[in-house]
Amino acid sequence: MHRRAFVSLAAVVPFAGCTGLLSGGVDTTIEQDERVEFSADEGSELTVSVEVQEVFQPDIDVEREGISLRIDHSENGIIDTWTVEDSATFDLTIEDGGTHSVIVTGGVADVTID
């Protein structure tokens, strides 16, 4: 049974990371600590839309209210981070063109970047 789960996961994960590169943006569900890459040109004005699907609660006595969303440039590091409770939309101007990635921590969210 574990072997089938691994094979299924191995078939899906490579496509999840390439979704943005194929379409010029991102339109996918991103899970805990998953990295989805996309390409953006310098000066691009992007709209980042997030809809939280699930928030994972930590094992400590603190309740997490939302997920953390982070956008990185592949060579220059973190561009911006946000905490999203339910849904939100952000505007983002790309200063350095190239490959970027979006990462969700603390849950699962539908993310669209155009």
Question: In the chain, what are the domain boundaries?
Answer: 2-113
* Tens digit of pLDDT at every position of the chain (114 positions): 444 443 433 334 444 443 333 346 899 999 998 999 999 999 999 999 999 999 998 888 788 889 999 999 999 999 999 999 999 999 999 999 999 999 999 999 999 999
> In this structure, are strands 77-84 and 67-73 parallel, antiparallel, or unpaired?
antiparallel
CATH number for the segment(s) 2-113: 2.60.120
Query: What is the predicted pLDDT for the residue at 41?
Result: 95
Q: Where are the beta strands (DSSP E) in the chain?
A: 26-30, 35-40, 45-55, 67-73, 77-84, 87-93, 98-105, 107-113
Residue (of 39, 67, 72, 73) closest to 53 by Cα position: 67
Measured distance CA(32)–CA(107) in Å, rounded: 5
